[in-house]
Chain A
Amino acid sequence: MSKIEIKNFNLYYGNFHALKDISISIEEKRITAMIGPSGCGKSTLLRSINRINDTIEGVKTEGEVNIEGVNIYNDNVDVDFLRRNVGMVFQRPNPFPISIYENVAFGLRVNRIASSKEIIDETVEKSLKSVLLWDNMKDKLHKSALTLTLEQQQRLCIARGIAVAPHIILLDEPCSSLDPVATREIEELMIRLKDDYTIVIVTHNMQQAARISQDTAFMLLGKLIEFSKTDKIFTNPSKKETDDYVSGRFG
């Protein structure tokens, strides 16, 4: 069974039909990339998987997004619990203006997942280790997160998400505010994380999708045009639109 199965999903911002009848199955412990020109709906689709779109006024949805067989748009779904299982990393690093330690501990504390200091310390260490920040930061845990470089801030944001133990990590153009070296570092991190998490990444950068993902979805004007193995999308796509886009004829 696929980890995330989206069936005939439609989304409207007021009268604007942003996602049109999307169906896609995302497999476990792989990196799935979503590509397409600006405004094609790839971020909207990503943001539908943890229902963070709910915070925008006037959003209406139809169809299903099933995670492990449960439609997360069912009325009886606990949205806050869903979001704990489906972490999200945003375009611009957005650490809270508090210490590095407190950033990672935030979800544990506020959600009352853990209260004992040992468990929190342990989780903070484990989370920072998994994003390769621990060795540099273990003596600076109580410095403000805003003193970090953008790349370190983005790693910290990933660690903050990991700390509440999600199965799925959604990344919304996580490298768009980073330089090429930092981008490569974050890409390597995502490849490492793939062994433990199901990763869905939206990217503007086709090379990035080609480098790190196993599956790629190409979207255009709110429709899913093609979804296939990354190799196939980039070397032998079956739709003309995909071919035009990946070969750089538009977009």
Chain B
Amino acid sequence: MIKLNPKLSQKLSYTLLFMATMLAIIPVLVIIFFIVKNGASSISWEFLTSMPRNGMRAGGILPAIVGTFSIVVCAIIITLPIGVCAAIYLNEYAKDNLLTRIIKLAIVNLAGVPSVVYGLFGLGIFVMFLKLGVSIIAGALTLSIMELPVIITTAKGALNSVPQSFREASLSLGVTRWQTIRYVVLPNALPGILTGAILSIARISGETAPILFTVAVFYVPNLPNSIFDQVMTLPYHLYIVSTQIPNMPKNVIYGTTLVLMMMVLTMSFVAIFGRAYFRKHRKW
């Protein structure tokens, strides 16, 4: 075995570790660079606020933006309260017994189920069995089911990070368990719960498989009127303009990509900065 001079081996390992880090972030930066470079020119007020024309080759992507927005808002309205309630139960009330352990195991594993499986499940249950049809509500419910384990896990983490001493202080004043959760635990866990929720929104706005069979359509001439309408969505629209339409101008594809990416990145940054802000301002 070759013995390197310790100084040299120190330098060598540092370089290797640094290169590995670079390899991890360079592709992301390249992707962002190309998308911004090619897409920025097509972003205009008209692109964001008008209907597509000429077989999607011109005009704007307003229905896809509205579609994605409405599905995501519906999904988070459904999933956040249920997720937070489940997290409160698991963190504050559940005893450590077999049932609880099975539930916890299920939550961890559900988060790893491929999203296309959720898509097919949504098609079977919401679209066909419950006869909701291909609609915003069917897509939102599918996304909710997919996101629920993630919301429960992050909300549970946020509740768990509230010091036990706060709970004991409140209980020792004769405050009931529920009031303690309501007035002490929840307010202090709220920043964590909200940043988790924003990250979930960011994640589900880019999902394609779960909405493919449950809500997204190739083209609709009108904006949705109710949660039982079909809509266009950004990820599915992107798939269509990239692969299904001949003679597609490149700038429309890049423009659509840029809009979707900005939506997701903006939400992630809000969540990250929000979390950093709350961490800094919390002193326990």
Contact = CB atoms under 8 A, between A and B. Distances in A.
Interface in B131-176: 163, 165-176
A160 B165 CA distance: 14
A94 to B, nearest CB: 4
A88 B174 CA distance: 10
Interface in B184-199: 184, 188
B179 interface: yes
Interface residues of A, number: 27
B174 A52 contact: no
Interface string A73-105: 000000011111101101010111100000000
A157 B175 contact: no
A80 B176 contact: yes
A164 interface: yes
A96 B163 CA distance: 10
A226 to B, nearest CB: 28
Given A90-B168, A92-B165, A82 B174 contact: yes
A83 B62 CA distance: 59
A57 interface: yes
A84 B173 CA distance: 5
Interface residues of B, number: 22
Question: Which of B172, B282, B283, B284 has the largest number of chain A CB atoms within 10 A?
Answer: B172
B172 A111 contact: no
Contacts of A160: 169, 173
Given A88-B168, A92-B165, A107-B173, 12 more contacts: A52-B168, A55-B168, A87-B173, A90-B168, A94-B166, A97-B188, A97-B283, A106-B175, A110-B170, A111-B173, A111-B179, A164-B173
The 7 closest A-B pairs by CB, nearest first: A84-B174, A107-B173, A88-B172, A94-B165, A83-B174, A146-B283, A94-B169
Interface of A: 50, 52, 55, 57, 80-85, 87-88, 90, 92, 94-97, 106-107, 110-111, 146, 157, 160-161, 164
23 contacts: A55-B171, A83-B171, A83-B173, A84-B173, A88-B172, A90-B169, A90-B172, A94-B163, A95-B169, A96-B166, A96-B169, A97-B282, A97-B283, A97-B284, A106-B175, A107-B175, A110-B170, A110-B183, A111-B175, A157-B169, A160-B169, A164-B173, A164-B174
